[in-house]
Amino acid sequence: MDLTIYPLSSFAVCTGKSGFQAQKNQYKREVAQRETDWTSKSNVWTMKNDQYDINTKENVQAYSRQVGAIQRNFGLEVSQFMKNKETLFRQKTGKTPVNEGDRSSSFGRSMELASLYNEAAQSANLRRADIKQGEDLRGARRELLSAQNLALGKKGFQPIPDVPPAKPVGPSFLDQAIGVASTAAMFIAPVQAIGGAAGLGLGAAKGSFMNTFFQSQYSR
């Protein structure tokens, strides 16, 4: 075994281990950053869910209040209708003349017609109030659905976790051998180049350095 190559192999192995340790540190940082990002996204999603529940409940409560107001208004219309019916009946009863037997067949007809007209008008008003109540209830239902859809749109979609980073794999025996060879070549090549230039290379003839040195001295 060439002892000059042993330190180079040790250096190459250490360099490979250092690079692998740097990859593991980077992997740990990426995993920690991913966990932090996911925690932040989960908190935002939880907040959106809570806000969605609050908005939907408030929408339902507003719808209930609106329905109650519509039904109350219709109830007032019904109460007014019954009150008017009672008033008309009292007026009709109090103003009805007594036929003493010598009256014509048209006696009291105009009063009867006026009473019937008033009753028909009251019934028509009640029907219109009933129709309006149905339209208002359907409109309130549409408003509730629109508000619920808007709240759902603000909620959005549940976040999806990112792809986890790839776990680093240590260098194999082949990778280490290639690293040793590359490191050895990196150190040997400059030495050979310097030795060749000085006549000390492996391919230089014996005594070439001395000949070159003395020739340069005598040529002066």
Give the tens place of pLDDT for each residue, 50-101.
999 999 999 999 999 999 999 999 998 888 888 888 887 777 776 666 555 5
Q: pLDDT tens digits for 121-151?
A: 888 888 888 999 999 999 999 999 999 999 9
**DSSP characters for 130-174?**
HHHHHHHHHHHHHHHHHHHHHHHHHH-----PPPPPPPP----HH
Candidates 133, 121, 37; CA nearest to 81 is 121
Q: Residue 163's pLDDT is what?
A: 84
Q: pLDDT tens digits for 5-41?
A: 445 455 445 555 677 788 888 989 999 999 999 999 9
Q: Residue 173's pLDDT is what?
A: 61
Calculate Rg over the CA atoms of the chain.
Answer: 52
The rounded distance, in Å, linking the Cα atoms of 20 and 25 is 9
DSSP E strands: which ranges in the chain?
none
Residue whose tokens read 């003839």: 205
- Ordered by start, the domain boundaries in the chain are 25-96+106-155, 173-220
Residue whose tokens read 């540190």: 25
Q: pLDDT tens digits for 157-176?
A: 888 888 888 888 766 666 65
Candidates 5, 3, 2; CA nearest to 183 is 5
Candidates 18, 54, 56, 75; CA nearest to 148 is 56
